[in-house]
Amino acid sequence: MPQALPDWPLFGLADDVRPALAAAKAAGEAAVLATLTVVEGGGPRPPGTQMVFAEGIVAGYFSGGCIEADVAAHAEACREDHAPRTLVYGEGSPWPDIRLLCGARIEIFVERVAADDPALAALLAFTERREPAVWVSDGRRRACTPPAAVSLWPGAVSRRYDPAPRLAVVGGDPAALAIAMLGAQSGFETTLVRPKGPQAAPLPGVAYRRDEPAEALAAIGLDPWTAVAVASHDLELDEAALVAALPSQAAYVGLLGARARLPERLARLRSAGVTTAALARLHAPIGLDIGGKAPWEVAVSVIGEIMALRYARDSASTSTRSPAAAAGAPA
């Protein structure tokens, strides 16, 4: 019997379907992976968006309700007959009564992935090691390799996976707590760092460390998919965190604090040996200028800035402000 979608589409809050694939594998269940491959006319989701369907598992969304139930029915058929298929919605669709409200035309590639599929095992291994990978499949033959080793064949589609975004928040005041909580809710693997803080932090979905910033950030690992928000309201603690974070590979380093005190803080960092090039990466004051200073407003501005910079890099946009300009350092 086809799997009925839940009344509330909480499954659509999961943008990364790898945890769902891992859950299906752990349960020994075959999963159906549906990948958006073509978007014409401004659809609601970009190419590469995915959904996963397995026994008791649904994750991801394509349209916010226009086609998900129909995709689920095709996924169930694919799981039973093992045959891959391409679904077309919009112009040229064999189901003209199913349309996206935006008027777009999209194509979705649907494939069954067995729990013991070697490509799935490789994808999850890349994920565990926080290494980029590319999935290539025609629905019957598939591979998962590093980006530099990708080899396409006729009829195959590909999808790149980057490590999950990660966020380290240094601090323990209400603004820091709000940044950490919103980061976790926004899909970041989030860790709160509060040296010598209480034994536990009451933040669902947020990891917690009590060691000094340098040790904590080294243990977290500052790779190109990690952001660091420094918000401790302690000059020495902030400085220690920035000295560790700015020379790293972290994609984003932001500092909460008054703009008027920024020159003084930059001078302290230079004295501590932070180079001009590293200082140019600092976002200070932290976050987009949305006009609010309440904890949740600060959190929205910080997470918004991190996401804006991520997508600006992906699209080569120059719409976000320069870190060098924000830090008062030469480009």
Q: For residue range 62-94, list pLDDT tens digits in order.
A: 998 889 999 999 999 999 999 999 999 988 889
Facing residues of 88 across strands? 107
Give the per-residue pLDDT at 213.
97
The top-level CATH class assigned to 166-327 is alpha beta
Q: Where are the domains of the chain?
A: 10-161, 166-327
pTM of the model: 0.90
Identify the CA nearest to 111 among candidates 88, 77, 145.
77
Ordered DSSP codes for 97-118: T---TT--EEEEEEEEE-TT-H
Q: Write the pLDDT tens digit of every residue in 230-278.
A: 999 899 999 999 999 999 999 999 999 989 999 999 999 999 999 999 9
Q: Which residues of 203-228 are buried (b: 16+ CB within 10 A; e: fewer)?
A: beebebbeebbeebbeebebeebbbb
Q: Letter for the amino acid at 140?
A: R
Q: Which of 122, 124, 110, 108 is nearest to 24 (CA)?
A: 124
Cα 72 from Cα 240, distance rounded (Å): 50
Q: Report phi then psi at 160, rounded to 5.
A: -85, 140
What type of residue is 127?
T
